[in-house]
A and B are shown apart, each in its own frame.
Chain A
Amino acid sequence: MKQKLPWIISVSILLLYFASNYMKQTPRTEIDYEAFGNTPVHLNGRIQPLDSVARNALLGMRYKRTFRDENGKKTPAIVWLTELMMRPDLAHERPIFRIQDEDVRSLLKLPNKPSKRSKIMIALIGPGSGKFYYSFNEIGPSLKTISEQAQQASELEDAQRSRFQKAVIQLARALSDYTGLSQSLHHGQVASFTQELNDLERFATEGIEAVNLRQQGAEYDETAFNQMMSIGFLYQGFEQSAKVLTMPRDVGGEDLEWNKTSHVLREVLREGGASETARSYSAVIDSYRTEDFKAFNENVQKLHADLRAVDSSIVSKAGVEQLFNFLEPFYIAAAGYVMAFLAVIISWIRWPEAMNKAAFGLICACAVIHTIGIIFRIYIIGYAPVINLYSSAVFVGWGAVLLAIVLEAAYKNSMGNATAAVIGFSTLLVAHHLSVGGDTLEMLRAVLDNNFWLATHVIIITLGYSATFLAGAIGFIFILMSIFSNRVDKKAARTFGNMVYGIVCFSTLFSFVGTILGGIWADQSWGRFWGWDPKENGALLIVIWNAIILHCRWGGFVRARGLMMLAIFGNVVFSWSWFGTNMLGIGLHAYGFMDEAFTYLAAFMLSQVLVIGLGALPTRFWKSQIA
C-alpha cells in the first residue's frame, strides 16, 4: 500500500485538476454562455460552435484564448464574442489587440501603458504583456494608416517583408476579423432586430411593387422606392462585412446551404417572411441588448431548436467541439507531463521505486488524456490525425510517449518515464506555439484531401519521427546523467544502449517505409515519385541518418556511448526536417510559415550539439563509470 500511495495521490491530483479546469470554462452569470457558445455556425469551411470561433479569434488578436474583464479577471472568450457580436460599442472599449511591435505602436501613436503588476512582481517576472493591449477604439483613428501600410507590405513576398511589415499585416488581418465578427449577427444600425424584421415584412410588398413599377416605366411611389434602395444598400454592406455564416437551410442536397445573417432580406423579399432561425437570432440579440437575460437564455434554446429542425445533428456536433474546448486535453496532458517529470526527479533523489511508479501512473494518465484529445480532433474534422504542423507536433509527442511507455514497462529503469515526460511536454509546448496562427482544425487542400494516404504515409512517417526523437532524448539524458551523476554503471549503459538500438530500428522501419509511401503518394497524385522537394529531402535525411547509426553499430564502429551521441545528432537532423525545411518557404510542402521559430530551432540544435560535445569528453571526467 505504501508503495502505491504516491501513485494514487499524484494521479488523483491530475484528475482533480482536469475536472476543475473543466468547471471554470464558463463564468457563473445569469447569462447562459455555455448554451450560446454551443450554437453551430459555419466558418473556415466547416461547422463549428461559436465557442471555437471566439477562442480562435481571440487567439489571433490577443494570442490567448481568454481575456481579462474590467476587473482584471480572466474570462472565457465567448463572453467577449457575445458582446462583440451584439453590443460592439461596449466591446470596442476592451483592450484585446496585442501590438508588440514598437514601430507599429509609434506609427499608430499608441501610448505605452503602465504595467498592472506591482513593482515587486515587475522586478521578479517582468512587466508582462499587459501593456501591449489596446482596444478597437484606441486603434480606431489609425485604421486608414494601417490598411495603407498593410497594402504596401502585402505587395512584397513574405520572405522580403520586414518585421514591422509582418506585424502590420497581422494587425490588419486581426482588425478585419474583428470587424467581420462584429457585423456577423447584426449590422447594428437599429436597436431592435426583431422590430426591424417586423417592419421589413410589413413593408416588403409595398417596396417590391415600387421597384417593379419603376422597372416597367410606370408611375411608382418614390418614398417606398427610395426606402427599398437604402435597405438594399444597408444589407449589401451587411453581407460584405459579415464573416460568419449563421443560417443553415436544407436544400435537399447532401450538404446544408449556409448563408450569412443578411440573407434574411432575401427571405423576406422572395419567400414572404424571415426564417425561424433569423427570427430566433433576432430575439437573442434583442434580449441581450435589453439585458433581459432570462429571455436571452430561453431564446438561445429556441434558436437551437430551430437549428435542430434544419439538421438534427449540427447542434450536437458543435457541442462535441465545445466539450473538446472545455476539456483542453492537451493543456492538461502538458501539465501532467510536468508533474511526471518532477516525480522522476524525486525518484532519482529519494524513494526510487514508489516515485517512479507514481511517474509511470501519471505518464499513463497523460497518455490517455492526450489520446482523448487526438480522438476528439479526428471526430471533429473527419480526417486522420495529422493534417498540419500543429497536429504533427501533437502526434509526434503522442507516439514518442507511447513508445516510452513500452520501454518503461519492459525495463522499469525510469528512463522511459523521464523521456516520456520531457518529450510529451516539449512537443505540446511546441504545438501550443504553433496554434497561435488561428484555427488548427483546418480544411485540407484538394491535393492532401485523401484519408488513405493521410492515414498511411503521414501516420507512419510521423511515428518514425517520434521514435527518432525518443532515441535522441534517451541519448541526451544518458550523457548528462553519466557525466553529472554516478547513477550509470557498465550494465546500465549496456541496457540504455539496447533501448536506443531498439528504438532506432523502429524509427528506421517507420521513417523508411513512410518516406517511400510518401513518394508513392506523390507518384499517384502528381506524377513523380521523388521531386527533391525540401520536405522530401528532410525525410530522406532522417532515413539516411538512421541507416548510418545502424551500420555504425553493426560494423562495430560505436558502442553505447557513440550510439548515444549519434542518436542525439538524430534530434538535430529530425528538427531540421520537421521545421527547418518549412522555413525555406519553397516547395509543395511549405505549409507552415514561421520566422521567430528559427531562433528556437537554432537554440535547440545548438543544445543537442553541446551535449554531443560533452559526450565526447574522455570518460575519466565522467562521474559514472560506463566502460
Chain B
Amino acid sequence: MKPFIRFFSSFELAISCMALGLVLVFIGTIAQVQLGIHGATELYFYSYFLYWKIPGIGVSIPYFPGGYTLGFLLLINLVTALFVRFRYSWKKSGVLLVHIGVITLLIGELISSMMQVDSAMIIDEGGKSNFSEDRRLHELAIVDHSRSQETDRVYAFPHEMLENKQDARHEELPFTVSISRYMANAEIRRRDENAPSDALIVNQGIGLQTYAIPLPKTGKMDAVNRTTAVLTVFDNANGEVVGTWLSSLGFPQQKFEFQGKEYSMEIRRKRYNYPFEIKLLDFSHDRYLGTNIPMNFSSEIELTHPERGENREFLIYMNHPLRYNGLTFFQSGFANEDTTTILQVVSNPGRHLPYISCILIFIGLTVQFGIGLISFTQKRLKKP
C-alpha cells in the first residue's frame, strides 16, 4: 500500500500530470481549428483517452490521456498529498489553501462538464415563451393533435434514442415509430434521378420530394448538425407498416392520420419547459455613432410565474443576466432586424465553486508568497 500512496502523492506525478496537461491543452486548442471548439473539447478535454484509429484495420488505440484522466489523477494526487505529504503549519497555510482551491476548481469543472445545460430562448417583441431549446441536442417529437382545441399532447424522445435507433413507443400511442436510418448531420437535396435507391423507401411527406445525404458531424461554434432520420410507423395492433417518412431538423411538422386521429412527427431542438413565462417587451441594440460596433444589447422582459403569483419586469443586458429558479438568462444574440431576442439559458449546479476557489487561491498565494517575501527581506536587512 505504501508505495502506492507514495506514488499517488508524489511531486513527480503532479509534475507529469501538469506537463501532460500542458501538451493536451495545446494540441486540443490546435485541433479546434479543424473540429470547432465544442468538437475538440469533447474529444480532448471531456474524454478519458485520445484514440488513434489504425488505418486499414479499424482498431482504435489510446495514445494520450484525455482531460478526465489527467483531471482525476491530479485530483487523487492533490487529495493524497494533503493527507500524506503535507506538514500542517502556519508557514505552509498558504500552500494548503491554494491546493484546496485547485481541488475545488477541478471539481467545479467536472460538475460543469457533466451537468451544465445550455439552451436558447428565442422571443419576438411582444411575444412570450415558456421553453428554451438546446443548442446541440435534438429530439423526436410526436404530437397528438386530437386531445383538445387548445393544447396538443407531445411525446418527446431523446437524441440518444435516435442515435441508438431505438423504437419510439409509448403506452398512450397506438403505433410505434422505428428509426430506419439515422444521420448525425445531413444535407437535404431535392429528389431527382441522382437519389440513391435507399432514399426511395420513404413514401410519405416531405421525403417524397427530397432525400438526405449524410455529412460528418461538426463541432464548430456557429454550425448546426442537422439531425436527420428515416422514420417508419408501425401499427401496434397488427405490426403493419403505416408509412415511412424522412424527418430532419428544420422540417415543419409532418402530419398524418391514424385511426381517425391527427398526429404529427418532427425532429426539433430538445426543449426544456418551464413553469413560468417570459414576455419580450422591447429589444434594443445600440451602436456607437457612425460605426457598426455594438455598444449595448438589452431585452426588457416581463416574467410571469402563475403558480407563485409572481409578475415582474426586468432588463437583461450585457454582463447583467437574470437569475431565476436556478437558471441564468443572458443576452446572447438577436435576429430579425433587432426585433427578436435570443437569450441564453444556463443551468450549472457547479457555478459557485470557481468563486470559492478564486478566493482560496488568491488568499493562499498571497499568504505564501508574502511569507516568503518577508523572510527574504528580513534576511537581506540583517546582511549589510
Contacts and interface: CB of A to CB of B under 8 A. Distances in A.
A545 B288 contact: no
Interface string A116-156: 00000000000000000000000000000000000000000
Interface string B215-227: 0000001000000
B357 interface: yes
B200 interface: no
B113 to A, nearest CB: 9
Interface in B322-376: 328, 330, 332, 344, 346, 348, 351, 354-355, 357-358, 361-362, 365-366, 369, 372-373, 376
B288 A45 contact: yes
A537 interface: yes
A237 interface: no
A548 B361 contact: no
B297 interface: yes
Contact of B296 (A449, A512, A519, A529): A449
Contact of A245 (B15, B289, B296, B332): B289
A586 B221 contact: yes
A232 interface: no
Interface in A249-270: 255, 258
A530 B290 CA distance: 34
Given A532-B45, A537-B25, A508 B18 contact: no
B134 to A, nearest CB: 14
A498 B377 CA distance: 12
A551 B11 contact: yes
Nearest to A532: B41
B40 interface: yes
Contacts of B346: 527-528
A488 interface: no
B254 interface: no
B15 A552 contact: yes
A508 B26 contact: no
A447 B319 contact: yes
Contact of B25 (A508, A519, A529, A541): A541
A438 B258 CA distance: 66
Given A45-B288, A533-B37, A548 B22 contact: yes
Interface string A515-528: 01101100111111
A1 to B, nearest CB: 25
Contact of A520 (B22, B37, B358, B365): B358
Contacts, number: 159
Nearest to B372: A505
Contacts of A45: 288-291, 293, 295
Interface string B290-325: 110111110000000000000000000011010000
A534 interface: yes
A587 interface: yes
Contacts of B40: 532
A410 B11 CA distance: 32
Contacts of A537: 25-26, 28-29
Interface stretch (B104-112, B122-130, B136-144, B165-173): B104-112
A513 B32 contact: no
B319 A525 contact: yes
A527 B19 contact: no
A551 B15 contact: yes
A445 B15 CA distance: 39
B71 interface: no
A2 B108 CA distance: 62
A544 B108 contact: no
A540 interface: yes
B345 to A, nearest CB: 8
A447 B318 contact: yes
Given A45-B293, A513-B362, A524-B321, A529 B18 contact: no
A195 interface: no
18 contacts: A45-B290, A245-B290, A443-B288, A445-B294, A447-B319, A453-B319, A505-B372, A508-B365, A512-B365, A516-B361, A528-B348, A529-B354, A530-B109, A532-B45, A537-B28, A544-B25, A581-B29, A584-B29
Given A445-B293, A513-B362, A530-B109, 12 more contacts: A443-B295, A453-B319, A505-B365, A506-B369, A527-B344, A532-B29, A537-B29, A540-B25, A541-B25, A552-B15, A573-B22, A587-B221
Interface of A: 42-46, 245, 255, 258, 410, 442-443, 445-447, 449-450, 453, 498, 502, 505-506, 508-509, 512-513, 516-517, 519-520, 523-534, 537-538, 540-541, 544-545, 547-548, 551-552, 554-555, 557, 573, 576, 581, 584-587
Interface of B: 11-12, 14-15, 18-19, 21-22, 25-26, 28-30, 32-33, 36-37, 40-41, 45, 105, 108-109, 112, 116, 118, 221, 288-291, 293-297, 318-319, 321, 328, 330, 332, 344, 346, 348, 351, 354-355, 357-358, 361-362, 365-366, 369, 372-373, 376, 380
